[in-house]
Amino acid sequence: MILLNAVLTSCRHCFSHYFIGFISLVFHVVFLVLVVLVSNTHASVIDDHDLSFYVHKAKSTRLHEHSTWQKLLVYEQQWTGRNVRSAIHSDSFFNAPTGYKDPEAELLATLKAIARPEESNPNLHAQCRFPARYFWLKGQLDFSEKDIPSVNCPEFNEWSMKGEVDSLSIVFATGFLGNPASYYGHTLLKLNNKNSNNNRLLDMSVNYGAIVPDGEDPITYIVKGLSGGYDAGFSHTEYYFHNQSYGEIELRDLWEYELNLSSNDVRMILAHTWEVMGEEYTYYFLNKNCAYRMGELFEIIDGIKVNPDTRFWVIPQAQILRLGQSEYKGEPLVRDIQFHPSRQSRLYERFSLLSYQEQTVLKQAVGEISTLEEPVFDALPDDSRYQILDTLIDYYQFRETLSGDSKEEQQQYQKALYKRYQLPPKAPSELNHYPSPPHRGRQPSYVQAGVVSHKQYGNGLSLTVRPAYYDALDSGSEHVEYGELIMGQFSVESYSGLSRIRAIDFISIQSLNTHVTGLPEDSSSAWRLKAGLQSASMTCSSQCLAARVEGDKGYVWRLNRQLVVGVHLGGALMDNRFGTGNVELRVTSHGIFDVTENFRVKLEHQHKRLVDVGRSLNNTQLDARYRLSKNKDIRISYQSSDSSRFLLALGYYW
Three-state DSSP class for 451? strand
Helix (H) or strand (E) holding 572: strand 563-574
What tens digit of pLDDT does each residue of 311-366 get? 677 888 888 988 988 999 999 999 999 998 888 888 988 998 899 999 999 999 99
Q: Within 13 Å, how many C-alpha atoms sit on residue 382's CB side?
A: 9
Lowest mean pLDDT among 21-35, 451-465, 536-550: 21-35
In one-letter notation, the amino acid at residue 270 is L
pLDDT, mean of residues 77-91? 88
Three-state DSSP class for 278? coil
What local confidence, expressed as pLDDT, does residue 65 receive? 95
H helix and E strand count, the chain? 16, 24
Chain centre distance of CA 519: 32
What local confidence, expressed as pLDDT, does residue 28 receive? 41
Does the pLDDT of residue 110 top 90, yes or no?
yes
493/643 Cα distance (integer angstroms): 15
What local confidence, expressed as pLDDT, does residue 92 receive? 94
What residues contact 501, with CB distance under 8 A and at least 6 apart? 490, 491, 492, 533, 544, 545
What tens digit of pLDDT does each residue of 250-275 get? 888 999 999 999 999 999 999 999 99
What is the signed CA dihedral for 32, 37, 42, 47, rounded to 10 degrees? 130
What tens digit of pLDDT does each residue of 626-636 get? 999 999 999 99
Does the pLDDT of residue 649 top 50, yes or no?
yes
Instruction: Give 55-63's long-range contacts (Cβ < 8 A, gap of 24+).
Output: 55/108, 55/111, 57/141, 58/107, 58/108, 58/111, 58/137, 58/140, 58/141, 59/104, 59/108, 61/140, 63/107, 63/137, 63/140, 63/141
**CATH architecture group of domain 160-340:** Alpha-Beta Complex (3.90)
- 583 forms beta bridges with 573
Output the average pLDDT for the chain.
86
What local confidence, expressed as pLDDT, does residue 178 receive? 66
Three-state DSSP class for 510? strand
Does the pLDDT of residue 433 top 80, yes or no?
no
pLDDT, mean of residues 405-425? 86
The DSSP symbol for 175 reads: P
Phi first, then psi, for residue 39 (nearest 5°) are: -65, -45
Does the pLDDT of residue 173 top 80, yes or no?
yes
Does the pLDDT of residue 430 top 70, yes or no?
yes
By percentage, how much of the chain surpasses pLDDT 70?
89
What tens digit of pLDDT does each residue of 49-76 get? 468 899 999 999 999 999 999 999 999 9
Phi first, then psi, for residue 215 (nearest 5°) are: 80, 10
Sign of CA dihedral 106, 107, 112, 117: positive
What tens digit of pLDDT does each residue of 217-257 get? 877 887 888 889 999 999 999 988 888 888 888 888 999 99
Helix (H) or strand (E) holding 166: strand 165-173
What is the signed CA dihedral for 229, 231, 232, 238, rounded to 10 degrees? -120
What tens digit of pLDDT does each residue of 553-611 get? 999 988 888 999 999 999 999 998 877 889 999 999 999 999 999 999 999 999 999 99
CA distances from 33 to 20, 44, 165, 320 (A): 20, 16, 51, 67
Query: pLDDT-based confidence at 517, cuts 50/70/90?
Result: confident
Domain-by-domain residue ranges, the chain? Answer: 55-145, 160-340, 343-422, 442-653
Does the pLDDT of residue 12 top 60, yes or no?
no
pTM: 0.84
Does the pLDDT of residue 48 top 80, yes or no?
no
Residue whose C-alpha is closest to residue 170's, from 331, 276, 323: 323
Query: pLDDT-based confidence at 38, cuts 50/70/90?
Result: very low
Residue whose C-alpha is closest to residue 283's, from 338, 221, 335: 221
Does the pLDDT of residue 440 top 70, yes or no?
yes
**CATH architecture group of domain 442-653:** Beta Barrel (2.40)
624/644 Cα distance (integer angstroms): 17
Query: Could you count the other beta carbons within 10 Å of the beta carbon of residue 90?
Result: 15
Which among 10-14, 131-135, 366-370 has the top mean pLDDT? 131-135
What local confidence, expressed as pLDDT, does residue 35 receive? 34
Does the pLDDT of residue 37 top 50, yes or no?
no
What local confidence, expressed as pLDDT, does residue 473 receive? 94
What local confidence, expressed as pLDDT, does residue 405 receive? 65
321/255 Cα distance (integer angstroms): 12
Does the pLDDT of residue 164 top 60, yes or no?
yes
